[in-house]
Amino acid sequence: MFNLLIGLDAGVVPADRMFEYTDDRVRRELGDEYELRIERLPALSMPEIGDERFEQVATLGRILSLRATGRTHRFEFEPNPRLKPIPVETVRELADRLNVDPEGWEFRRTHWAVKQAELFEVLFEYVAGAPRSIDRTYSPSAAVQFPTDTPLDSKLVAVMMPFDPNFDVVYETIALAVEDIGMECVRVDNIWEHDHVMGDVLSLLWRARIVVADLTGRNPNVFYETGLAHALPRRTILLTQNADDVPFDLRSIRYLHYGIGSKARKMLQEQLSDRLRTLSSSRQL
């Protein structure tokens, strides 16, 4: 999910414009403590399309604070200085994949919406020029070579986690969540198709439709594999037992925080099943 702020340049949004154009399911998921949950989501702030008072660009950033004050909500938006502004026409071109109605009034109405879409993945694919199918061509001279002649497996979920038996019970939980939605998962250390383990990693990432990456313990192999998954790009779900193990640059991406007790693992199974179901039904691969 991500925050979409349109026409909100003064740090204030009327209460009746909060959550306009937001699906009811998203509102329920945010719950009563939505202020805290919203602050964890990436944000895209832009003027109303056609408003000549403002430069027609959208800015990526995050919400530092949000609080209800009577008939308004006051907030602080912090732009990311490392990310260039995006022309609003580009945002409109990507509207369908960002769950915005390109033909409606949403781009021309001041409001705050929360959208069920992976903002950075959509923008990365657009900027990188990746097509919407598996037929992207990679240079044979590249240091990392994927098996581009291998087809995508629409039922395959790749699981990246430390090569440690302590994670076996976590993998069993992930496998149950994947099974719940009729897909299949493979943990990279459970396959041996190539002489070099990296060959198995590249093959699995290329064939998988969805990647689940457990960042617990800041394992460098998992970080590297997660970077490859994002670069392809593949729809990626991040997990961790410790929020401090999520690198700063990834904290704007939603992740599932879990425990290893039986009740906590049951909750992880349910949350992961819901997330997998959403991604597997998405039109974007």
Q: How many CA atoms lie within 13 A of 138 on its CB side?
A: 17
Percent of the chain at pLDDT exceeding 90: 45
Q: How far is CA 259 from CA 3, 37, 53, 242, 251, in A?
A: 28, 19, 49, 9, 19
d(CA 222, CA 246): 12
CATH class of 153-280: alpha beta
Q: Residue 133: what pLDDT?
A: 38
pLDDT higher for 141 or 124? 124
d(CA 44, CA 63): 10
Q: Residue 137: what pLDDT?
A: 38
Q: pLDDT tens, 99-108?
A: 998 778 899 9
State yes or no: pLDDT of 134 exceeds 70: no
Q: Residue 165: what pLDDT?
A: 83
- Residue 77: band (very low, low, confident or very high) from pLDDT cuts 50, 70, 90: very high
Q: Residue 102: what pLDDT?
A: 79
Q: Residue 124: what pLDDT?
A: 65
Q: How far apart are the first and last CA of the chain?
A: 16
pLDDT higher for 159 or 221? 159
Beta-strand relationship, 57-69 and 42-46: antiparallel
- Residue 126: band (very low, low, confident or very high) from pLDDT cuts 50, 70, 90: low
Q: pLDDT tens, 143-155?
A: 567 777 788 898 9
Q: Residue 111: what pLDDT?
A: 95
Q: Residue 231: what pLDDT?
A: 81
- How large is the average pLDDT for residues 42-55? 92
Q: Residue 174: what pLDDT?
A: 97
Average model confidence (pLDDT) across the chain: 84
Using the structure block, give the residue that is written with the tokens 């949004």.
13
Percent of the chain at pLDDT exceeding 70: 87
Do the beta carbons of residue 105 and residue 92 sit within 8 Å? Answer: no
Q: pLDDT tens, 186-219?
A: 987 654 444 445 677 888 999 999 999 999 999 8
Q: Residue 127: what pLDDT?
A: 58
Q: Residue 1: what pLDDT?
A: 84
- From 52-66, 138-152, 164-178, the region with the lowest mean pLDDT: 138-152
Q: Residue 197: what pLDDT?
A: 55
Structural domain boundaries of the chain? 2-128, 153-280
State yes or no: pLDDT of 53 exceeds 80: yes
State yes or no: pLDDT of 285 exceeds 80: no
**141: CB partners within 8 A, 6+ apart:** none
Q: Residue 173: what pLDDT?
A: 97
The whole-angstrom distance between residue 181's C-alpha and the CA centroid of its chain comes to 19
Q: Residue 144: what pLDDT?
A: 60
